[in-house]
Chains A and B, each alone.
Chain A
């Protein structure tokens, strides 16, 4: 992750120093590839706050430079590199200052570049602050979520503990229930066979009576007529 971040930051520097629009476009394209790699690495690895801030800063700077380029093209203004723009600003600020005499030095006249660099630092710092604020909000949300998860875990642990106690008592009950079930099953089987055998005996007796009293006399009478 550190390596990719370093590449990202180098690319941002190259973007800032691009002299021509062709060069800028090439660097923009390269940055997008690196950005994708960095995003994936950032999402799936645990990184420190410092790395996250550096990533965020690089991305914001890329977006700013891209917006600057597109705004200039859309407005029909010829694109100039940042270095040229800074130099032009420095020259303008130098021209606008009129020294009262040749000997007196004008305050800040020797440091127009520094002032402009301070502006750039200020811009970068404000961007970092914004990114940090966003990160802080996200971290607060993450903390809330993890606190809720922790509470849930604690309640599930309590539940499992009570379950364990109940299990020990339930085990005996289960054993006794098992015995009862076994005996019940046996009795059920016995009853079943008893009922079946009783029914069978009943059917036999009915059949015997019908044969003896009805069927056999009819058959013997029939044989007597045949004789």
Chain B
């Protein structure tokens, strides 16, 4: 039945079209008789407003029972106005066009028309709302059908030209690609499909998406929640195999506005999101999943030029995922740190890690801690945004580092305040060598040394400079606070090495200092003249020194070793000079002493910077035999009388490099200076 316009509008206000009445809607519109526009008067805006308000009132009254009114008011017919007829005419024309364009597979060409129509508004408010919604539904349906057809055409063409989806592993000439691209352009295959991507890609991605779902989203052995690297590897392999294909298409300028490969990657990544959401719920797999996702993102950037931190951003934006992951990483680090601290071979030397760069042999603790930190550094670099990096650095790197330094600090304090305390997992307590304490201190020093080295090297990395710059520390140092502490501990532990060495040698030096036979002219009894002409006490000192130096050379090297040995040399020199200054020597005693000192200086012969000038000059004076022309007393008088010519000549002759006052001090130690 053909309705009049008034009845049609009235009917559709009371009974709007349902979604499944599309065909009826199209038929009704087709049969609807619209009056001539020119016959309808123009009305002003105010009149339109009045009519709108009246009609709103009327629409609101629909369905209400006026029970208390004796007679219902007679309904006025729906006014037929120009605006309403215009809109209905446009809708009718649009539907006609849609019908014809569908037949020609050109439905996408109506997109602009629809956009224009959809924003139209009947200011009188008479046109039923369902008209626009039904028109939109019709258009969408037509589009979907058009897309399905187009997709089928694209599929057939792909199979024909490239034997898709296998792509046959063959290299096709560029002309094939060009022809294919031209064909796609002609059928408008790059128009945006239902899912917001070019239609061509929606078709192209289907088999890969199906394969992905089959292997990784269904009940298969390949669908393991603990193995995200499998599906990432599958995706990367797919991208690698199709890179050539997309590259050739790009050459033909198939779709200049964006990279088809990038969109293809994004489309497959969308599939992964579901897997990520599912796996991220399990704490046991979250850390591994995050690491694999980071690596995957880096691979995409490196090999496929993808600028998106797509999946990792998606993962971290899930509620509380980022905080949970960070906490899990921190817990893992703390657990590893506890393992390192309590391992039995923590303080054993890692001899296989020695290289030319380091001046100490690292302990196994150091090596493990360094490896632990380097694994987190790799993750830090891969994180997408700066805020993530800063949080990660503070919680997962800085905090464990502070705990580790605190742990080492406790050892340092224990050693500083007491004689010795066994480090856990250290040398066997039954086999205590003389140099045990020195070795302990060297190990402690080695830890601080390597920590400082590691921090110095890492602070040159860009990421740490950026973090340090955010903190505002000097020279953009991100480890500023802890670095000063480590430096102080390194210096302190260096002093502990010296202290241990001094403690080791001091008793032997004291024994030597107790010898009081230097002033005797005859040979004393304690000289082991059967085997050598040196004192037995000095032999003990020499052996201890040799063992000590060897022990130091095993653990230290380069600048560290030299500094320790130089400091030790200075201490030893001062000791012997003090011994000289607290005894009196005859000529025989002086010669004896000189021989003893030579034994000690032999041990330092590999360190040419240790000249022991003061000691050798002093010893030279002690054993000075000026002859009958000038006695020691005469020499003293010559110095006091400032007879520098004679004095300088003699000093130069003997290679003595001391000031006159120092020479006098030493000469007063000679007994000849006090007796005739």
Stretch at the interface among A51-59, A120-128, A155-163, A186-194: A155-163
Stretch at the interface among A35-43, A132-140, A199-207: A35-43
- A74 engages B566 (CB within 8 Å): no
- B662 engages A74 (CB within 8 Å): no
- B466 engages A74 (CB within 8 Å): yes
Determine if B66 is an interface residue (Cβ-Cβ < 8 Å).
no
Determine if B558 is an interface residue (Cβ-Cβ < 8 Å).
yes
Determine if A215 is an interface residue (Cβ-Cβ < 8 Å).
no
Report the bound CA distance from A140 to B367 in whole Å.
46
When distances are taken between beta carbons in the complex, the residues of chain B under 8 Å from A32 are 456
- B665 engages A37 (CB within 8 Å): no
Determine if B609 is an interface residue (Cβ-Cβ < 8 Å).
yes
When distances are taken between beta carbons in the complex, the residues of chain B under 8 Å from A73 are 462, 465-466, 469, 476
Known contacts A28-B460, A70-B475; A156/B562 CB under 8 A: no
Known contacts A29-B457, A36-B359, A41-B609; A153/B662 CB under 8 A: yes
**Chain A: minimal CB distance from B453 (Å):** 8
Q: Which residue of B lies closest to A72 (CB)?
A: B465
- B468 engages A25 (CB within 8 Å): no
Known contacts A70-B465, A161-B640; A44/B665 CB under 8 A: no
Show 30 residue pairs from A and B whose CB-CB distance is below 8 angstroms, ordered by the A residue.
A21-B462, A25-B461, A29-B457, A32-B456, A33-B359, A33-B558, A36-B359, A36-B558, A37-B559, A39-B559, A40-B559, A41-B562, A41-B609, A43-B563, A43-B566, A44-B566, A66-B475, A70-B475, A73-B466, A74-B466, A74-B469, A150-B661, A153-B659, A153-B662, A153-B665, A156-B665, A160-B664, A160-B668, A164-B668, A164-B674
Residue in contact with A154 in the complex, picked from B359, B609, B661, CB distance below 8 Å: B661
When distances are taken between beta carbons in the complex, the residues of chain A under 8 Å from B461 are 25
Residue in contact with B563 in the complex, picked from A25, A40, A66, A150, CB distance below 8 Å: A40
Determine if A167 is an interface residue (Cβ-Cβ < 8 Å).
yes
1/0 per residue, CB under 8 A from B, across A164-175: the answer is 100100000000
1/0 per residue, CB under 8 A from A, across B560-592: the answer is 001100100000000000000000000000000
Determine if B357 is an interface residue (Cβ-Cβ < 8 Å).
yes
Considering the complex, which residues of chain B in the window 458-498 have a beta carbon less than 8 Å from any beta carbon of chain A? 460-462, 465-466, 468-469, 475-476
- B559 engages A36 (CB within 8 Å): yes
In the complex, given contacts A157-B665, A164-B674, what are 11 additional A-B residue pairs having Cβ atoms less than 8 angstroms apart?
A28-B460, A29-B460, A33-B359, A40-B562, A41-B562, A41-B609, A70-B475, A74-B468, A74-B476, A154-B661, A156-B661
Report the bound CA distance from A74 to B456 in whole Å.
17
- A70 engages B559 (CB within 8 Å): no
Report the bound CA distance from A150 to B658 in whole Å.
12
For A71, A154, A160, the residue with the greatest tally of chain B CB atoms inside 10 Å of its CB is: A160
Known contacts A44-B566, A74-B468; A157/B558 CB under 8 A: no
**Chain B: minimal CB distance from A171 (Å):** 9
When distances are taken between beta carbons in the complex, the residues of chain A under 8 Å from B640 are 161
Known contacts A36-B559, A44-B566; A157/B661 CB under 8 A: yes
Closest 9 A/B residue pairs (Cβ): A74-B469, A153-B661, A36-B559, A73-B465, A44-B566, A74-B476, A40-B559, A37-B559, A25-B460
**Chain B: minimal CB distance from A30 (Å):** 8
- B468 engages A69 (CB within 8 Å): no
Report the bound CA distance from A153 to B563 in whole Å.
30
Residue in contact with A70 in the complex, picked from B357, B456, B476, B668, CB distance below 8 Å: B476
Report the bound CA distance from A160 to B665 in whole Å.
8
- A74 engages B457 (CB within 8 Å): no
When distances are taken between beta carbons in the complex, the residues of chain B under 8 Å from A41 are 562, 609
Number of interface residues, chain A, beta carbon within 8 A:
30
**Chain B: minimal CB distance from A25 (Å):** 5
Considering the complex, which residues of chain A in the window 64-78 have a beta carbon less than 8 Å from any beta carbon of chain B? 66-67, 69-71, 73-74
Considering the complex, which residues of chain B in the window 420-465 have a beta carbon less than 8 Å from any beta carbon of chain A? 456-457, 460-462, 465
Report the bound CA distance from A154 to B665 in whole Å.
11
When distances are taken between beta carbons in the complex, the residues of chain A under 8 Å from B558 are 33, 36-37
**Chain B: minimal CB distance from A70 (Å):** 5
**Chain A: minimal CB distance from B477 (Å):** 9
**Chain B: minimal CB distance from A182 (Å):** 23
Q: Which residue of A lies closest to B358 (CB)?
A: A33
When distances are taken between beta carbons in the complex, the residues of chain A under 8 Å from B468 are 74
When distances are taken between beta carbons in the complex, the residues of chain B under 8 Å from A74 are 465-466, 468-469, 476
Q: Which residue of B lies closest to A21 (CB)?
A: B462
Determine if A45 is an interface residue (Cβ-Cβ < 8 Å).
yes
When distances are taken between beta carbons in the complex, the residues of chain A under 8 Å from B609 are 41, 44-45
Report the bound CA distance from A39 to B359 in whole Å.
14
For B456, B462, B661, B674, the residue with the greatest tally of chain A CB atoms inside 10 Å of its CB is: B661
**Chain B: minimal CB distance from A172 (Å):** 14
**Chain A: minimal CB distance from B130 (Å):** 56
- B559 engages A69 (CB within 8 Å): no
Report the bound CA distance from A120 to B4 in whole Å.
94
When distances are taken between beta carbons in the complex, the residues of chain A under 8 Å from B665 are 153, 156-157, 160
When distances are taken between beta carbons in the complex, the residues of chain B under 8 Å from A44 are 562-563, 566, 609-610
- B664 engages A157 (CB within 8 Å): yes
For A32, A39, A74, A161, the residue with the greatest tally of chain B CB atoms inside 10 Å of its CB is: A74
**Chain B: minimal CB distance from A22 (Å):** 10
When distances are taken between beta carbons in the complex, the residues of chain A under 8 Å from B465 are 70, 73-74
- B460 engages A69 (CB within 8 Å): yes
When distances are taken between beta carbons in the complex, the residues of chain B under 8 Å from A36 are 359, 558-559
Considering the complex, which residues of chain B in the window 638-676 have a beta carbon less than 8 Å from any beta carbon of chain A? 640, 659, 661-662, 664-665, 668, 673-674
Report the bound CA distance from A80 to B610 in whole Å.
45
Report the bound CA distance from A161 to B674 in whole Å.
11
Known contacts A70-B476, A156-B661, A160-B664; A33/B460 CB under 8 A: no
Report the bound CA distance from A74 to B461 in whole Å.
11
- B475 engages A67 (CB within 8 Å): yes
1/0 per residue, CB under 8 A from B, across A133-152: the answer is 00000000000000000100
Report the bound CA distance from A2 to B659 in whole Å.
28
Considering the complex, which residues of chain A in the window 47-98 have a beta carbon less than 8 Å from any beta carbon of chain B? 66-67, 69-71, 73-74
**Chain B: minimal CB distance from A56 (Å):** 18
